[in-house]
Structure 1
Amino acid sequence: MPGLTHRSSPLLHCTRPPPSEGHSFMCLPTTGFTDQAVALTHRGAAALADGQEMLAVSCFTLAAILAPHRASIWHNLGEARRALGQVTGAARAYHHALRLRPAYPKAWAGLASLLHKSRRFKAAARASMRALALDPGFAEGWSVAGSILLEQRAMERLPIILRRAVRLAPDSVPAWLALAGGLGETAEPALPLACVQRAVALAPDRPAGYVNHAGLLIRQGRLDAAGALHDRLRRLAPLEGYAEAGDSLVATLRGDFATAVSLARRSLVLQPSSPAALINLSLAEHDNGQAERARRGNERAILLHPESDVARFNLSMVLLAQGDFANGWRLYESRWRMERVAYPAHAPRWQGGDPAGRSFLLVAEQGQGDTLHFVRYAPMLAALGAQVHLMVQPSLVRLLSGLPGIASVRSLTEPPPVCDACIPLLSLPLVFGTTLATIPASVPYLHASEQDRGTWKRRLDGERRLKVGLVWAGSAHDDQFLAHMVDRRRSLPLAALAPLAGIPGVRFCSLQKGPAASEAPPAGLDLVDWMEAVGDFADTAALVAELDLVISVDTSVCHLAGALGRPVWMLSRYDSCWRWLRDRSDSPWYPTMRLFRQDRPGDWAPVILRVRAALERWAAQF
């Protein structure tokens, strides 16, 4: 579940394990140990199991002073410091343990976890493999290796590794939850659900399994079933805030942002020092239009948990929406780590410097609208003397092949060209140091071919009315529930445009693709649909170029119209995308764009009435 994270269990050594789930212990002989060192080891293990990391560090530190020759104590100290976020101190403790006992798989695994958390993936992989070489049956070693593979998006090998961990430790709740996470990326929904259900069966009195189970159900769109699990969590752990956090996410998905904020605040009251609770609240506040609160909350979450990529990414969304591009673009790079999507590996990353004389591969990374939005930077890079190649969505290849100075344009499905460096399109504003005042907003930067435009000129020849293109729905993303719920908030049924019917001097032309294109227009709406003749964005661009105005929800066509320099009115949902900034009716990205924003979540009626009034004024002057 977004925002709800679970710390990996430390691998402690003590003479007698405290009653704690998920910890691995070894009974140590007391010969040569002082009674104080033994007692401190017990106390430190119990403190760490109870989440009292500072106390655990103190106990293990004193135990190490009393018995400095015991590698196990130094390893335990490393575990406690890692849990507390003391990266340097934890690394010193692990290395000291390994100097005392080089063949120590648990210390190698702990070091691997620390290196992985510090994003030193190659070193982490070496340490985890060292642990497994010393003990091939070490379940936690396989779990650490699985975490590294998950981060590196080695998805084909990940389930193999995680299944090995489960076979070695079939009663390990963390192992089953890790396998559920790995399978959730690659498998049929029933498999990860079976894994979390197994975790719940192993520990029915522990919240971790229920939290992960509810998160999977939410991703699959089973919101009511997730709500039932939240009720169970509320009874099981009433003071932990898990249920409120989950219900807050469900309310956000349903567009009930005020309720989401209320629930997230309740979760934070129960967990006042929890970065996850702060992140959840800040996300809800951002969607609810409380930008300053969201900014402060994410900043506090980063202070509490400096390694939180989720907090960094969410803060970037807030800052970019506020126009703080200097900080926003930098934090926006955390999207690669948060989403666990590998940076394009077609060529080395561009580390900066003079691009002249070098070849660059610019890669589309998100939706078609994002590509249309940020491809404006490609000619700018070419103008600096670089040889620029593009890899984009297949539907955009023909249109973008007309960009000036571009060496080649290829589909994402084609083999990449050999280049000196690679960079995703949405990282280019950071490279160019774009601020609100320096947005490259010269339009048009895209052009339809005269040959393609000829078809639409002939069809529209003689039309004297105002020619207005309509797009009322985005891509439904039926295979990705979270994206699907965002689309439900940005899209509207064609019937909702009924107030636009009967405006004198206006002829509407559908620019809608996908299932929504089959919706019947409301009575009186003069709507012609030629989209069956449109095969790609080059065709759509040619049609848009012959229109006087485009009215569109927040989808790729509004970017296309803006890039072509055509007048475009965008219908923006209440929780609008960061790129449209806050409280503006214009866009510095597209000089020909006008924004019509929702005043309340889900309430399109006033928006459409404002559009009608503006359209009547324009048609009267046309």
Structure 2
Amino acid sequence: MAQHGGTGLGPDGRDGRASEAERLLRAVLAADAGNEDAWLRLGGLALSDGRCRMAARCFARVMLLAPHRAQAMHNLAEALRVAGRKRQAAIAYTRALRLRPDYPKALAAFGLMLKEGGSGRDARRLVARSLVADPAYSAGWRNLGALVQERNQPDVVARLLRRAALSAPDDAATLAAYGVALCEVKDTGLALAALRRAAALAPDATSVQGNLAFGLMHAGDTEGSLRATRRLRRLDPMAPEADAQESLTWMMKGDFERAAGFVKRALALAPGHAGTLVNAALAFHSLGGAQGSVRWNKRALRLDAASPVARFNLSLALLQKGDFARGWALYEARWAMWGSAFPRHAPAWDGSPLNGRSILLVAEQGHGDTLHFVRYAELLAAQGGRVVLLVQPLLKRLLRNTPGVTAVYGFGEEPPACDVCAPMLSVPRLVGTRLETIPANIPYLRAEEGDGRAWRDRLAGERRLKVGLVWAGEPRKDDVKANSVDRRRSLTLSALAPLAAIPGVAFYSLQIGEAGAQAGAPPPGMALTDWTGDIRDFADTAAFIEQLDLVVTVDTSVCHLAGGLGKPVWVLSRFDACWRWLGHREDSPWYPTMRLFHQDEPGAWDAPIARLTSQLKEYAAVRDSQP
């Protein structure tokens, strides 16, 4: 335990000042056993030290001496709550509020205890009453934020904790909670300012250091996060949150072996912590252990059955194993985990026969997910549905040609009134897709004839094997997890230098975004043409791909585009492969024309690139030998 001031520790191991205060209070009570203030202070000291039974006895004595004192009854309730005697605590809170109905501390504390018992609505009502009684009551705003947090409304939580921080600008715990809430709404600048101020106010507070480490990780400063975690460990070598946070940070850095080591330490220190079990599942899943991930997530759910993160992560592990029956159902936990509302533009479709009804399919997540799952439009049309799409604007023109689609609208446009609607990635569950019933009627994507003619004319004179290249994904710098995945799946063009030595191949850049600039300086000997300046949207990219012989890409939207077009597509996949590739399979039931080249270990691209180079050399030689 750290020393405070110059008093050191007393012989009982407690702060010397607290020991001296208790000695004086006991002396006062020896002389005057009816001194209610002395009993109240002695109970407060005992409660702060975790001696709940002694605290309860002191506060009960106050109530005998002064039954009108709401403060003493509230303190008694707190002691009983901390001791785990929730039923008696509820009685004491109720009596405190009879004595003083507008008592903010009692209202807020009673509300939090009710929340722990599952009475969320009553809890929020009580905490809201504490703020009506005292709008400047910082703990009330914090408690209300904690209650709203379980409803996955991060914007609301951040606003509530801002009020708490304004009411208590020098309270480190409140500032730290506010900083974490700002991380969740991706306001990293303000978040770090709040967290650093909290750490300056309470440099010895382990929880604050843990929050700072979390905030630095969210801001992408993984080295800063590791430094903060190590400070936390120096303050308390037995703090499980230090190991849990360090595990998360190493996962963001892509070092899953280290992450697994630290999460094991965290579990040894706190084996019953659901969040740490979820972290363990993530680490072992990333190391290729889908079965282990299932086991850890199930353990987390036994501790916290409502955890949307555990349910969602379990769904990914099950889907990767091909257990679609259970996986699709659990995948619905994404709405609660992301704190976003189910996209309701019409009544939710329940999977019943459409029989002429119109259905609005709403895109979600990335462009690749939309390209992957838009295949279900044809299946729904075959069931008698009139299918309308609401998708990302860059996909609008391409998806007009999708079989079964009646109309396509872009985000920001008002779609027509439909009978029912469904998020696109919920459709597999609603139609009961299993591994053996994946709809793979390829191609289901096609370019417009006019666009295709223009690209065909450009490439008419090329007799070599025409190969499109994509070497990087799309970074999302405001999303630490997505950005971490993007770093792990992305390459530089120079990493594909071995392809340059293959004779009879002409390469074409399909790389959009910042990484596309690398096409201006290809590896020596690589014949690379860059016409991406003429690509406006995915319809243009599709028309270009249709004129190529093969696409080589990392795991990004272009692999779904090429697969949906029915073009041969070879995918370089990171070690912790996306669930849809079903582990490290080399083929995909989603795309019959796809081949997958996985890393053999995290971060190691040389081996899959070498395998791809060898097979491309054979592919080009066979084609060259054909008349």
Q: TM-score, normalised by structure 2?
A: 0.81
Structure showing greater Rg? 2
Q: 1:112–1:366: structure 2 CA closer, same or farther, 3 Å change rule?
A: farther
Trace 1:10-159 onto structure 2 (pairs within 5 A): 109=108, 126=125, 128-147=127-146, 158-159=157-158
1:443 equivalenced with 2:442 (yes/no): yes
- Residue aligning to 1:425: 424
Amino acid at match of 2:527: D
| More off after superposition, 175-184 vs 165-174 | 165-174
Q: 1:320–1:142: structure 2 CA closer, same or farther, 3 Å change rule?
A: same
What are the ranges of 5 or more consecutive residues in structure 1 without an aligned counterpart? 1-18, 20-37
The secondary structure found in structure 2 opposite 1:232 is helix
The secondary structure found in structure 2 opposite 1:587 is coil
Shift of 1:96: 7.3
Check the 8 A contact 2:77/2:90 in 1, yes or no: no
- Residue aligning to 1:221: 220
CA displacement, residues 367-397 of structure 1 (integer Å, 9 cap, x when unaligned): 1111111111233233333343322111101
The secondary structure found in structure 2 opposite 1:215 is helix
Q: 1:295–1:155: structure 2 CA closer, same or farther, 3 Å change rule?
A: closer
What are the ranges of 5 or more consecutive residues in structure 2 without an aligned counterpart? 1-17, 19-39
Trace 1:193-272 onto structure 2 (pairs within 5 A): 193-272=192-271
Trace 1:578-593 onto structure 2 (pairs within 5 A): 578-593=579-594
Q: Distance in 2 between matches of 1:76 and 1:314?
A: 36
Amino acid at match of 2:339: R
Q: Distance in 2 between matches of 1:168 and 1:349?
A: 42
The secondary structure found in structure 2 opposite 1:591 is coil
- Residue aligning to 2:513: 514
Amino acid at match of 1:261: A
Q: 1:476–1:253: structure 2 CA closer, same or farther, 3 Å change rule?
A: same
1:598 equivalenced with 2:599 (yes/no): yes
CA displacement, residues 385-419 of structure 1 (integer Å, 9 cap, x when unaligned): 33433221111010112223334322222234434
Shift of 1:610: 1.0
Q: Distance in 2 between matches of 1:426 and 1:74?
A: 51
Check the 8 A contact 2:74/2:96 in 1, yes or no: no
- Residue aligning to 1:545: 546
Shift of 1:585: 0.5
- Residue aligning to 2:457: 458
Q: TM-score, normalised by structure 1?
A: 0.82
Amino acid at match of 2:562: A
The secondary structure found in structure 2 opposite 1:586 is coil
Check the 8 A contact 1:397/1:409 in 2, yes or no: yes
- Residue aligning to 1:371: 370
CA displacement, residues 462-487 of structure 1 (integer Å, 9 cap, x when unaligned): 43322211111111223434322221
Shift of 1:521: 1.3
Q: Distance in 1 between matches of 2:92 and 2:471?
A: 58
1:343 equivalenced with 2:342 (yes/no): yes
Shift of 1:345: 4.6
- Residue aligning to 1:9: none
Amino acid at match of 1:589: W
Q: 1:187–1:601: structure 2 CA closer, same or farther, 3 Å change rule?
A: closer
Q: 1:116–1:618: structure 2 CA closer, same or farther, 3 Å change rule?
A: farther
Q: Distance in 1 between matches of 2:244 and 2:589?
A: 36
- Residue aligning to 1:561: 562
Shift of 1:236: 0.8
The secondary structure found in structure 1 opposite 2:501 is coil
Check the 8 A contact 1:151/1:337 in 2, yes or no: no
Shift of 1:238: 0.5
Check the 8 A contact 1:74/1:96 in 2, yes or no: no
- Residue aligning to 1:303: 302
Check the 8 A contact 2:148/2:156 in 1, yes or no: yes
- Report percent identity of matched pairs: 47
Shift of 1:178: 2.8
Q: Distance in 1 between matches of 2:407 and 2:117?
A: 38
Shift of 1:491: 1.1
1:485 equivalenced with 2:484 (yes/no): yes
Check the 8 A contact 1:94/1:111 in 2, yes or no: no
- Residue aligning to 1:415: 414
CA displacement, residues 76-126 of structure 1 (integer Å, 9 cap, x when unaligned): 599669x89x9xx89997997799787676666467657878999877655
- Residue aligning to 1:610: 611
Shift of 1:147: 4.3
- Residue aligning to 2:503: 504
The answer to which structure has the higher helix fraction is 2
| More off after superposition, 377-386 vs 307-316 | 377-386
Check the 8 A contact 2:74/2:92 in 1, yes or no: no
Question: Number of paired residues?
Answer: 578
- Residue aligning to 1:32: none
Shift of 1:494: 0.9
Q: Distance in 2 between matches of 1:187 and 1:291?
A: 30
Q: 1:74–1:363: structure 2 CA closer, same or farther, 3 Å change rule?
A: farther
Q: Distance in 2 between matches of 1:240 and 1:375?
A: 47
CA displacement, residues 9-50 of structure 1 (integer Å, 9 cap, x when unaligned): xxxxxxxxxx9xxxxxxxxxxxxxxxxxx9xx9999679x69
Q: Distance in 2 between matches of 1:368 and 1:266?
A: 39
Check the 8 A contact 1:77/1:93 in 2, yes or no: no
Q: 1:548–1:127: structure 2 CA closer, same or farther, 3 Å change rule?
A: farther
Q: Distance in 2 between matches of 1:117 and 1:331?
A: 24
Shift of 1:444: 1.0
- Residue aligning to 1:527: 528
